[in-house]
């Protein structure tokens, strides 16, 4: 019985330590420190862009430690659909760090 109780407590503690990735995540716009850009990850799998007119997010999902986002890149008279996969390096209640190859992106929860 003691082993079962210990296992149940461990599962509950692990669940409590996981942060929910849904929400609005932003970072400063390069060379414009008073402005932010980023995205909102809705609880229903819908993603939206924050202050990025040419990069429009549509959906998101997680797969293990990966965040997969789809959307449309709009520019020069054409629209290109995309799907990007980012490794979730760090996720806390207020910080999200994503990696795509050599690129590391740090966001804070708005």
For residue 4, pLDDT beyond 70: no
- Neighbouring C-beta atoms of residue 25, cutoff 10 Å: 22
pLDDT of residue 100: 96
How many angstroms separate the CA atoms of 79 and 34, rounded?
Answer: 29
Q: What is the CATH number of domain 2-109?
A: 2.40.128.280
Q: Where are the beta strands (DSSP E) in the chain?
A: 23-29, 32-41, 47-50, 55-63, 66-75, 78-91, 95-100, 103-109
Q: pLDDT digits over 55-74, tens only?
A: 999 999 999 999 999 999 99
Query: Is the CB of residue 13 less than 8 Å from the CB of residue 26?
Result: no
The C-alpha atoms of residue 11 and residue 23 are separated, in whole angstroms, by 24
Kindly indicate the confidence band of residue 43, based on its pLDDT and cuts at 50, 70 and 90.
Answer: confident
- Segment holding 12, helix H or strand E: helix 2-17
Domain ranges of the chain: 2-109
């Amino acid at each position: 019985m003691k082993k079962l109780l210990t296992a149940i407590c461990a599962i509950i503690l692990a669940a409590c330590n996981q942060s929910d990735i849904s929400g609005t995540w932003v970072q400063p716009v390069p060379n414009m420190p008073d402005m932010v850009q980023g995205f909102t990850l809705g609880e229903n799998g819908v993603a939206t862009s924050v202050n990025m007119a040419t990069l429009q997010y549509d959906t998101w999902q997680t797969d293990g430690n990966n965040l997969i986002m789809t959307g449309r890149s709009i520019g020069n008279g054409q629209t290109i659909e995309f799907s990007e996969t980012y490794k979730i390096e760090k996720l806390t209640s207020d910080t999200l760090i994503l990696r795509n190859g050599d690129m590391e992106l740090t966001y804070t929860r708005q």
